Amino acid sequence: MKTRTIYILIAAVFLSGAALYLILHRPKAAQETATDTRTTEHAENSGREVELSETQYKTSGIQLGSFEKKNLSEVVHANGYTKLPPQNQADVSVFTGGLIRSIDVIEGEYVRRGQRLATLESPEFTRLQEAYFTSRSNLEFLTSEMERQKILAGEQVNARKTYEKTKADYETEKARFASLGKQLELMHIPASEQSISAVPVSAPISGYITAVNVKIGTNAEPGKPLFSIVDNSQMHVDLLVYEKDLYKVKEGQSVRFVLTNQDHSEIRGRIFSVGKAFENETKSVAVHADIINDRQMLIPGMYVNALIDVGANEVPALPSEAIVKAEGREFIFILEEDGDTHAHEEGGEEHTHGIHFRRVEVKTGVTQLGYTGVTLLQELPAEAKIVRSGAYYLQSHLLKTEGGGEHVH
67 versus 129: which is more confidently predicted? 67
Report DSSP letters for 90-124, one per residue.
EEE--SS-EEEEEE---TT-EE-TT-EEEEEE-HH
Torsion angle, alpha carbons of 154, 160, 164, 165, to 10: -120
CATH number assigned to the domain covering 90-230: 2.40.50.100
Q: Tell me, what's the pLDDT at 211?
A: 93
Classify domain 75-84+235-312 at the CATH class level: mainly beta
Rounded to whole angstroms, how far apart are CA atoms 64 and 317? 14
Rounded to whole angstroms, how far apart are CA atoms 161 and 397? 108
With bands split at pLDDT 50, 70 and 90, how would you rate the model's confidence at 347?
very low
62-71, 236-245, 383-392, 393-402 — which is least confidently predicted? 393-402
Name residue 207's beta-bridge partners.
111
**Closest Cα partner for 195 from 100, 140, 121, 104?**
121
With bands split at pLDDT 50, 70 and 90, how would you rate the model's confidence at 353?
low
What is the per-residue pLDDT across 221-232, written as a single tens digit (0 to 9) for each?
888 999 999 998
Rounded to whole angstroms, how far apart are CA atoms 409 and 406? 10
With bands split at pLDDT 50, 70 and 90, how would you rate the model's confidence at 207?
very high
With bands split at pLDDT 50, 70 and 90, how would you rate the model's confidence at 44?
very low
Average pLDDT over the chain reads 78
Report DSSP letters for 285-336, one per residue.
EEEEEEES---S---TT-EEEEEEE-S--EEEEEEGGG-EEETTEEEEEEES
Tally of residues, the chain = 409
Rounded to whole angstroms, how far apart are CA atoms 57 and 207? 44
With bands split at pLDDT 50, 70 and 90, how would you rate the model's confidence at 31?
very low
- Angle at alpha carbon of residue 123, lines to 119 and 128, rounded to 5°: 100
285 versus 124: which is more confidently predicted? 285
What is the per-residue pLDDT across 18-30, written as a single tens digit (0 to 9) for each?
555 555 555 444 4
The residue extents of the domains of the chain are: 46-70+315-403, 75-84+235-312, 90-230
Q: Tell me, what's the pLDDT at 33?
A: 42
CB 207 within 8 A of CB 90: yes
242-246, 260-264, 334-338 — which is least confidently predicted? 260-264
Q: Tell me, what's the pLDDT at 111?
A: 95
Classify domain 46-70+315-403 at the CATH class level: mainly beta
Q: Tell me, what's the pLDDT at 14?
A: 60
